[in-house]
A and B are shown apart, each in its own frame.
Chain A
Amino acid sequence: MDLTDSPQLATFRQRVRSWLQAHQSDAPTEKTGLHIKDIEPFRAWQRQLAEAGLVGVTWPVEFGGQGLGMIEQAVINSELYRLGLPGALDLIGLGNLGPTIIVHGTAGQKERHLKPLLTGDEIWCQFFSEPSAGSDLAGIRTRAVKTDEGWLLNGQKVWTTNAQHAAFGLLLARTDPSLPKHQGLSMFIVDMKAPGVQVRPLRQLTGMAAFNEVFFDNVELPETAIVGEVNDGWAVALTCLMYERFNLLTMLDQIGWQPSVFVQPLRDKIKPQHVQPLASVLVDLLAVRYSGHRALSKVAHGELPGPEAGLGKITLVDAAIRGAQIIAEVDGPSALDGQWGQVLAEMQGLRSGGGTDEILLNTIGERVLGLPGEPRVDKGMPFSEVMS
């Protein structure tokens, strides 16, 4: 077991650290969270990071990346965390959507979109979930119908993070309802300025609005908007979800919190009854970090990270909630009016975002433990019949 950097990685880390130290005064001062009030300073910061080669490092060089691995991304994340600096603004675009376009997009799409995505000049959002389909993503109903010029889009997406800032979205739509549900889907790039796109913010339980509902009313998409083949959108969606998992992995070391974050407010105040519950929180947070190191080591040895990264999310969310509750017990109700009330609220949503606990447990139970799946009543049925 060895967590020391290889000579190359140490050089890389040093370069990242020096750059960040030299430029940290340019970073936005607003605290990052799931909601950002003024994005412009964050956009400018992403541009600066991009120019220094510190975002999209896993992207191939020809698309503006550095052709490096997840380890390097994890190093950047941990160096940012060390200095208390925010990372890139558009994590979903850089982590999930850009890489998906690199795999499935046309030369023209890559040429047009990747550069401004990297620099933050154009923010992206992920149009997957709908009012009637979230966990069961292949059950989406938003329709794209072929026209002479391209496609005509009608429907609704929901819980779309960053849609209020986005220039483009990657959207999964149904192109053939006569096929079984996974087979009649296609992926599109949607220009948020196109007539018929309407974004409405949704206020979250935190009190703020970081996600939205988005309506598509006869939105005309050009022929060139499709990503991948017609009716092959499910494969594109799976690529995107795979990158979402990778993205999570590079953050496991520090998205949560170092154990000290939960202990700091309790110093000198802790009572005997809090010791064991707090121990359990600290142990879980440490476990998430070292599980992350294990997964990244696998990747460094050329293995693909499995769905297990999702287990880290379950542990993390659960530990953070219990940690915040202990602090609230010690500090009394006033803790809920401040930061810890906010943490408690944010964690509730995070439990569903990126796959609910139940879905993660299903997937991992089936893929990793090899347990049998459940009977699926809609298997093989044309989607039009499922809907009726």
Chain B
Amino acid sequence: MNFELGTDEIALINSVRQALGRTATLSAARDALDGGQRADLWPEAVKGGWNDLPELLYGALVLIECGRVLAPTGLLGHLTARFAVPNLDASKRTAYVPLDGKYVPDAAEAEVLVAETPDGGLLLVGQAEVEAVGNYDASRPLGNVTVHSGTPVDGDARHAWNVAQTLLAAETLGASEAALAMAVGYAKQRKAFGRAIGSFQAIKHQLTDGLRLNENARSLLYYACYAAGSAEFELAANAARFAADQAIGVVTQRCIAIHGGIGATWEHDAHLYFRRAQLTRLLLGGQAGAGEKVVTHVISG
């Protein structure tokens, strides 16, 4: 049994962190809310070879790091398509388009689109219209897609959907871990009534509960990566997705509250993560959609 990260995986994480650390992604995310230029780290992803990873677990680990600093890399869409249709050209920026085509992550920036068809197949899109939408979380590029034509490719839309749930869960977990770390750091340093506020149980217990939720999400994410080739994948991927949304939903609100007044300012990073949480839980079928799939799977299993 091996259900923890090994040295290869940790080395990958460190290299991703280092590469992403060269860009001020958080201030770019804030500026983009005011109409500024959003950061685009796709070139960084290509440089690191993250656009062409051999396993879902590696994809998940990279996306955790992207989520941690709210880095728009295009990898959520790209890697979903990549793992769903393995013989795509990985060097071309690709995005995966689910059936409804609404608020599709990374669609507007992609050169290639892989779209779900009503019969559960996948299409390499020829002609399509893509319109960039939404700016609530400016670090998350989204597009509405209308597909006009394409050629069928080998691949299963259901598998693609589950890969998307897994990778979204990973990115969400990274953001939730960052929000928790931010809150923990502040709780150690900020003093009130002659003590660090983290020594008050009302604060400490909220933070530790956040750790519990994050760790649950991480365990389920590993489960999803482990189950990727099996019949359990649907259960695992949707459970991971549900848990990650649950964690970030709680943690980002507490993060703002634990910061007091400063947490409620535009200049503070806390609201960037809160925005991520509020938007993400609605994407790709939503947290509730994942919940339904979990229940259906267990009931019929």
Interface residues of A (CB under 8 A from B): 1-6, 9, 71, 259-260, 263, 266-267, 270, 275-276, 278-280, 282-284, 286-288, 290-291, 293-294, 296-298, 300-301, 308, 311, 314-315, 358, 361-362, 364-366, 368-375
Contact = CB atoms under 8 A, between A and B. Distances in A.
B226 A259 contact: no
A170 to B, nearest CB: 30
B188 A371 contact: yes
B150 interface: no
A71 B1 contact: yes
Given A1-B226, A3-B226, A372 B199 contact: yes
CB-based closest 3 A-B pairs: A279-B291, A287-B216, A1-B226
A294 B216 CA distance: 11
Nearest to A3: B1
Given A260-B298, A275-B292, A276-B291, A369 B216 contact: no
Contact of B215 (A3, A275, A291): A291
Contacts of A296: 1, 3
Interface stretch (B63-71, B139-147, B238-246, B260-268): B238-246
A1 B216 contact: no
A190 to B, nearest CB: 35
A6 B1 CA distance: 7
Contact of B3 (A283, A293, A366): A293
Interface in B187-218: 187-188, 195-196, 198-199, 201, 203-205, 207-209, 211-212, 215-218
B225 interface: yes
Given A369-B211, A371-B203, 18 more contacts: A4-B1, A260-B298, A260-B301, A276-B288, A276-B292, A279-B242, A280-B291, A282-B294, A282-B295, A282-B298, A283-B291, A291-B215, A291-B219, A293-B1, A296-B1, A300-B1, A311-B211, A365-B211
B8 interface: no
A358 B295 CA distance: 31
B87 interface: no
B1 A371 contact: no
Most buried by B among A9, A266, A287: A287
Contacts of B292: 275-276, 279
Contact of B198 (A267, A308, A371): A371
B196 to A, nearest CB: 5
Given A283-B239, A286-B223, A369-B211, A297 B2 contact: yes
Contacts of A288: 216
B239 A294 contact: no
24 contacts: A3-B226, A4-B1, A259-B298, A260-B298, A263-B295, A263-B299, A276-B291, A279-B292, A286-B220, A287-B220, A290-B219, A290-B222, A291-B215, A294-B222, A298-B4, A365-B198, A365-B204, A365-B205, A369-B184, A369-B198, A369-B207, A369-B208, A371-B184, A372-B198
Contacts of A300: 1-2
A280 B242 contact: yes
B227 to A, nearest CB: 9
A78 to B, nearest CB: 11
Given A71-B1, A301-B4, A283 B242 contact: yes
A266 B211 CA distance: 31
A268 to B, nearest CB: 9
A313 B298 CA distance: 22
A1 B59 CA distance: 13
- How many chain B residues sit at the interface, stated as a range, is 35 or more
A362 B295 contact: no
B57 interface: yes
A229 to B, nearest CB: 33
Contacts of B216: 283-284, 287-288, 291, 315
Nearest to B243: A283
A177 to B, nearest CB: 29
A350 B134 CA distance: 47
A364 B215 CA distance: 13
A4 B227 CA distance: 12
B188 A370 contact: yes
A278 B295 CA distance: 7
Contacts of A294: 3-4, 218-219, 222
A314 B196 CA distance: 26
Contacts of B239: 282-283, 286-287
Given A279-B292, A368-B211, A358 B205 contact: yes
Contacts of B201: 358, 361-362, 374
Given A266-B299, A290-B222, A371-B198, A364 B208 contact: yes
Given A1-B2, A275-B292, A286-B220, A371 B207 contact: yes
A301 B3 CA distance: 11
A233 B226 CA distance: 44
Interface string B171-191: 000000000000010011000
Most buried by A among B188, B205, B212: B212
A1 B243 contact: no
Contacts of A1: 2-3, 57, 222-223, 225-226
A372 B188 contact: yes
A366 B204 CA distance: 8
Nearest to B301: A260
Nearest to A279: B291
Contact of A361 (B198, B208, B243): B208
Nearest to B223: A290
